[in-house]
Chain A
Amino acid sequence: MKKLNKWGVATAIVGLLIILTPVVFPVCQGLLELVNGKQVPMRCFWTARAEMIIGGLVVISGLLVAFARSEDARRRLNNQVVFLGLATILTPLYIIPTCMHPDMACNIATKPALIILGVVVTGLGLYGSFLPRPEIMPSGAK
């Protein structure tokens, strides 16, 4: 059986941690009441949803890296992992920012955890993309 790529496995594990972050560190639970009386979740609720989807994509990409046979495919997948890592960092900061108040649950635990995991995913992706390749020796050479 072909040996799995350990960096791909590590990426998949970190992706799983991203999915679990909103479960371990829940975002704000309160509901906002609109002028028309309708109650809607706070915006960090959507941040958490988006991050869980990104986490899912990181898991899939990590597994594909782990099982990929060609170096080229692995490198392309790692480029994708870099973008997903950046998306993990940028989502709670700019794309779907968490709540405004710095003391709210989403800001004190969920956001820093996601940013740290995003940095780890980006690092793993970059390492996979720029990993030094073994030199291909001409046949017969020792």
Chain B
Amino acid sequence: MKEVNLFNLALQNLRRKPYRSVAIGLCVAVMTGSLFVATIIMRGVQTSLSVGQARLGADLVVVPLGYESLAQEAFITGQPSAFYMSDQIEAQIAALPSVEKTSAQVFVQTLTNAKCCIGEFFLVGFDPESDFTISPWLSTHLKNKVLGSFDVIAGDRILLRAGDGATFYGTSFRVASVLEKTGMGIDRTIYVPMEGLRQMIADSNTLAEEPLTIAPEQISSVMVSVEPGADMIDVAESIEGSLADVNVFTASQLNQAVARQLQGVMGITFGVTATLWLMSLLLVGLIFSLIVNERQRELGLLRAMGAPRKAVFRLVMMEAGFLTGIGGVSGLVLSGVLLMGFSRLIQLRLRIPYLLPGLLEIIGVEVGLLVLALLTGALASLQPALSISRLEPYAAIRQGE
């Protein structure tokens, strides 16, 4: 026979009304689960943006007028985009005050007829001599090995690894290296040296199914690094003031673009979760008031048999703790499994950059939410537990009859 102690007594009480216990547990599970998902997604977006911005390397990005949103979308999600402007713009920007470095890039939209890859990828031509975004990374990862004209750098989400061959628009390239995962559009981008890209464009007339119609003097964007101490917004305004047909955006504006995309979904999620938390608090409080009322006689007898006030108080609090604790753990485990399994689906549907935060951070969030679940139970059952523990045994037995 099992020993009668508060722990076993609390468990038995919960088992006596399984449906009621499951309903409370489920409510807490949904609350902690949705809070966990919302928090991890938010942190995942922040992690991805900070890694991606560091990789972007540029303070400002200059694109043709009217293509700001499309370019931001390309940087955030890797959605292939193609827009062009004259390469004269780069020289004009470089001549402006407070501009330290500039580097032009050319975007090629689609690779649907490429032999190597399934799906659409974003091809970006960069000039290894002037580039300051990809080249610093290459100098540490390729140990200063010179990148040939037909050596490409692939993003992490592309099924190409170092040493693989790939044919784009009929021109053969070799993958020199694979960039680390960022969760941003860079992961779905292939960086091609400008000389190789121009050659590919020229040869596409004869080698590709669909020739590319990009003139040699056309570029898609100019990456700008401002001088130390200069104000980025001032430089951006000066570029837009001196050049008529361009838009400029800063790296921090990418954050704002993502925030705009997330605002609606996350607002609803947090709103629903806050409502659920309030509901859980009320539900647990209400149910425990009923339980205590219903069991007045039983708890009174427990007191009459010698159980101190503290024991009755602890019994009620323990029952609430078990329910909210088990519900919280179930919610965290289930939402964790769903989040891991469907993280890519969420990222693609919400069109957001996402990189799973570190394990320690995830554990920290889980512990925090579990404490919140337990606090909910403690807060909700505090009043009923106090009231029953204060009642004299005789009064409790009489009132409960």
A residues at B contact (CB < 8 Å): 99-104, 107-109, 112-113, 115-116
Please determine whether A108 and B344 come into contact, CB atoms closer than 8 angstroms: yes
Asked if B230 lies at the interface with its beta carbon under 8 angstroms from chain A, I say no
Residues of B within 8 A of A107 (CB): 344
Please determine whether A112 and B118 come into contact, CB atoms closer than 8 angstroms: no
Please determine whether A108 and B345 come into contact, CB atoms closer than 8 angstroms: yes
Residues of A within 8 A of B341 (CB): 112-113, 115-116
Q: Residue A103 contacts which of B337, B340, B344 (CB distance < 8 angstroms)?
A: B344
Residues of B within 8 A of A100 (CB): 118, 159
Distance in Å from the Cβ of B35 to the closest Cβ of chain A?
Answer: 21
Q: Residue A104 contacts which of B118, B188, B338, B340 (CB distance < 8 angstroms)?
A: B118
Distance in Å from the Cβ of B36 to the closest Cβ of chain A?
Answer: 17
Please determine whether B119 and A103 come into contact, CB atoms closer than 8 angstroms: yes
A105 to B240, CA, bound (A): 41
* Contact pattern, B 243-267, Cβ under 8 Å of A = 1, otherwise 0: 0000000000000000000000000
Q: Residue A102 contacts which of B117, B157, B338, B342 (CB distance < 8 angstroms)?
A: B157
Please determine whether B342 and A103 come into contact, CB atoms closer than 8 angstroms: no
Distance in Å from the Cβ of B335 to the closest Cβ of chain A?
Answer: 12
26 CB-based A-B contacts, threshold 8 Å: A99-B118, A100-B118, A100-B159, A101-B117, A101-B119, A102-B157, A102-B344, A103-B119, A103-B157, A103-B188, A103-B344, A103-B348, A104-B118, A104-B119, A107-B344, A108-B345, A108-B348, A109-B342, A109-B345, A112-B340, A112-B341, A112-B342, A112-B345, A113-B342, A116-B337, A116-B338
A100 to B188, CA, bound (A): 15
A-B pairs with lowest CB-CB distance, top 10: A112-B341, A108-B345, A108-B344, A109-B345, A101-B118, A101-B119, A112-B342, A116-B341, A101-B159, A100-B159
Residues of B within 8 A of A103 (CB): 119, 157, 188, 344, 348
Of residues 115 to 144 in B, which have CB atoms within 8 Å of A's CB atoms?
A: 117-119
Distance in Å from the Cβ of B345 to the closest Cβ of chain A?
Answer: 4
A103 to B344, CA, bound (A): 7
Residues of A within 8 A of B188 (CB): 103
Residues of B within 8 A of A109 (CB): 342, 345
A15 to B159, CA, bound (A): 33
Chain A residue with the shortest CB-CB distance to B118:
A101
A14 to B348, CA, bound (A): 27
Chain B residue with the shortest CB-CB distance to A28:
B118
Chain A CB within 10 Å, residue with most, of B118, B159, B340: B118
Residues of B within 8 A of A113 (CB): 341-342
Distance in Å from the Cβ of A105 to the closest Cβ of chain B?
Answer: 9
Distance in Å from the Cβ of A110 to the closest Cβ of chain B?
Answer: 10
Residues of A within 8 A of B342 (CB): 108-109, 112-113
Residues of B within 8 A of A112 (CB): 340-342, 345
Q: Given A101-B118, A104-B119, A112-B341, 8 more contacts at CB 8 Å? A: A101-B119, A102-B344, A103-B348, A107-B344, A108-B342, A108-B344, A112-B340, A116-B341
Chain B residue with the shortest CB-CB distance to A110:
B345
A100 to B340, CA, bound (A): 19
Chain A CB within 10 Å, residue with most, of B157, B337, B341: B341
Distance in Å from the Cβ of B265 to the closest Cβ of chain A?
Answer: 18
A113 to B157, CA, bound (A): 21
Chain B residue with the shortest CB-CB distance to A30:
B118
A103 to B341, CA, bound (A): 13
Residues of B within 8 A of A115 (CB): 341
Residues of B within 8 A of A104 (CB): 118-119
Of residues 337 to 362 in B, which have CB atoms within 8 Å of A's CB atoms?
A: 337-338, 340-342, 344-345, 348
Distance in Å from the Cβ of B129 to the closest Cβ of chain A?
Answer: 33
